[in-house]
Amino acid sequence: MDISSLRLKTMDADTNISSGEPKVKRGIEQKVFVNRSLTLENIRCYGFDMDYTLAMYKSPDYESMGFEMIRDRMVSIGYPHELLRYTYDPSFPTRGLVIDTMFGNLLKVDSNGNILVCSHGFRFLKEEDIHNYYPNKFIQRDDTDRFYILNTLFNLSETYLYACLVDFFTRCNRYTNVLKGYHHGDLFMSYRSMFQDVRDAMDFIHDTGILKEKTIKNLDKYIFKDPNITVLLTRIKEVAKVFLATNSDYNYTEAVMKYLLENGTKPGSQKKSWRSFFDLVVVDTKKPLFFAEGTVLRQVDTNTGKLRIGTYTGDLQHGTVYSGGSSDIICDLLGVKGKDILYIGDHIFGDILKSKKRQGWKTFLVVPELTKELQVWEENKSLFEELKRLDVFLAEIYKHLDSGSRECPDISAIQTRMKVLTHRMDVSYGQMGSLLRSGSRQTLFASQLMRYADLYSSTYINLLHYPFNYLFMAPPVLMSHESQNTADFASAELTVNHTLVMNRN
């Protein structure tokens, strides 16, 4: 039987299976995307992060508030008052950028450390300028003392502030620019010390609780409340266990979860405690440490928010809130194994990478930026198609040349056109370009997403559009030598990469 006949039979079978049942039509914004096949029927437990997952912060209001707080903190410790003129611009930063603390540059790189985009403050460097800093247009990503990866949505405000600092000191004539920082009289301010000050300011607004206090005072302004949250959690709890594991403290978790899960109760209906939507609630988890040795598991006094003394060693008590612990303790308390768990979070490192590598949990990455990525992709995919055609054309030029060939084809015009197309694609997403690619090349963030997230979507709410026995099927991925058309070797690579980022179930 040939493939086409098999395909027709499969389609007939699908028609028979679905007859009599309404067909669900999912819009692109409602889809969950697949990197590795996963059957929801095998999932016995769903775990959720809170910040930027269950609690989706409104952008750019929330990032703007964080930016202003760390900006004001920097001025209060001695940085110039002129910094107060800067306001947050959401079109500049994106997740997944790398700060070079030696030279003060913001870098967008691919999975191997090859530089795709480089800016110094708000000035984007041309290729020859990039080569002055990085002769091979390459960085050693594992040099974590020098390079800091900005993986989280919380990092957006500090990413922008760091760019503001570099921009200010570069333009201010009171300071002399040198390779690794700025001189002012006998004072030397290195890019590394500036970075550390920004990090300390960020830690300050989190550790002192001032960011959370301001958020709680105006939850409507900073947190998006989806009425379908309670619907989804109720449906999940009918078929599986549900837990919440957040790095936030109890008092903040209580305020946010009450806002999301209790304030929308219909008049006349019985009010449910937000904790009743979960089989287990754990705060102060200290992820990613939570996925390794963890910390001491303690009970939380929900009346005072204080921790009870001693390590909790008993069985799971419903309605009890715990602090600390580890992923192993979660499995023991809920009576599940790692492969039974689908964990949903927004942090590629703290939530997804560590839970996948260390525990073997199934993973679902929340990528809020995907809404805009999909919109821009649909509007500009003709640019990507032209890039592919140029790539095929390049392949054809070299197709019949071998080691005995002496001619050197002139491809400069094609390369120039490809750079123009890549730039046009990038700027349509924002100043730093797409979260997932630069032209036909994937970013570090995209490669991590593909490697560690089994599923991903713009919001976990999109699970509402799938039955709980759904089979998410990932498309097969061919290696270059397995591609049928070996002549189009470079184009085949681009096509496969495009499928990986944009595959739709």
* Residue numbers annotated as active site: 49, 51
Q: Rounded CA gap, 19 and 211, in Å? A: 53
3-state helix, strand, coil in the chain (%, to 5): 45, 15, 40
Residue 265 DSSP class: P
- What are the DSSP calls for 440-500, one per residue? TEEPHHHHHHHHH-SEEES-GGGGGGS-TT-EE-PPP---GGG-S-GGGHHHHHHHHHHHH
Q: Rounded CA gap, 328 and 261, in Å? A: 28
- What sign for the dihedral angle of Cα 210, 216, 219, 225? positive
Q: Rounded CA gap, 70 and 228, in Å? A: 34
Residue 284 identity: D
Residues whose CB falls within 8 Å of the CB of residue 500, separated by 6 or more in sequence, listed in order: 35, 442, 450, 477
Cβ neighbourhood burial of 83 (10 Å; 0-12, 13-18, 19+): middle
Provide the β-strand partners of residue 55. 51
Residue 148 DSSP class: E
C-alpha closest to that of 437 among 28, 31, 111: 111
Torsion of CA 28, 30, 36, 42, to 10 degrees: -150
Q: DSSP alpha helices (H): ranges in 19-154?
A: 61-76, 127-133
Residue with tokens 């946010």: 256
Instruction: End-to-end CA distance of the chain: give it in Å, rounded.
Output: 26
Q: Rounded to 5 degrees, what are φ and ψ at 316?
A: -65, 130
- What sign for the dihedral angle of Cα 144, 146, 147, 150? positive
C-alpha closest to that of 180 among 105, 78, 71: 105
